[in-house]
Amino acid sequence: MDLFHFNAAVDFGRVLIESGDLDPVYIAIAGADLPLRQRKRLVLAYSCLYNLPLAGAMSEQAGDSFWHMLLRAAASSEYPRGTERRHWRGAAAIESAGDLASRHKLPEAIVDDWFQGSLVGLRPTFQEVQRRVRDYTGFGPWIAFKVADLGERVLEVPVDFKDCVMGLYRDPAQGAALLLLGTPDHTLLSNTLGAETVLQALLTAPSLRNLVPRPGTRKLNVQEAETILCKYKSHYKEHYPIGKDAYEVKHALEHTKFPSKTGHKLRRALNAGINWGLLEEYQA
């Protein structure tokens, strides 16, 4: 283990968790006091567009009105995408939105299908959720991972992540290589064992092992370790100052072209849930 990078990543991760900058979107959604059916529509819209204010506005639409708005968003550059879903546009987005709309009349039924069985007391595994999500056009392995994470964090679906393998994704693998070998060249990791070794070391680090991600009541898990590794790798490359996500989500909610009552609720929840004072200490 490269102790310089490992210790730096642990300190970095602690600040992300304590400030709320780890997953500010989750804090906003969970704290907005939305009906479950609407939260499901929000998760569906967000998984397509990765733009919180637009997803919030879209979640206010039900049935055919939701599908019409999603199809318009797929076909038009006037509807923004987050960087993570920048390829969900043009013909690919139209095909994806059309596939979603053709499966179920009610958009929230898509989310029920993703977490099939879990909403009646059964606990799906990560691999089961990923398989169902990837059955839909335009949903690859990374967004399937985020859907499972969103379900567990903001829909309170008890997804079991024990069968989630870290080495599946490039960015956390690069972060793992940085902590283990001192270089972000993940091709030097001979197999997923190296990434898993780093993950377990992070989760058991004394200053992290008793922290609770917000929102939530459990201790840190593979999802949070994945985010810490991704963001630390970007931080190392000077692309991610602490607070970047929180301030960007705040700015998006304050300056959106798609204002809505839900967007206002999301903004209030974000403002209340983020430790802005802690972030300002690191911005100074």
CB 151 within 8 A of CB 159: yes
Catalytic residue among 78, 224, 226, 280: 226
CB 71 within 8 A of CB 98: yes
User: Residue 125 forms beta bridges with which residues?
Assistant: 160
**Which two three-digit tokens encode residue 130?**
């990923």
Distance CA 162, CA 169 (A): 16
280 catalytic per annotation: no
Give the number of other Cβ atoms within 10 Å of residue 188's Cβ.
11
User: Residue 160 forms beta bridges with which residues?
Assistant: 125
**Which parts of 155-260 fold into alpha helices (H)?**
170-181, 192-203, 222-236, 244-254
DSSP 3-state assignment of 76?
A: coil
Q: Which residues are catalytic?
A: 226
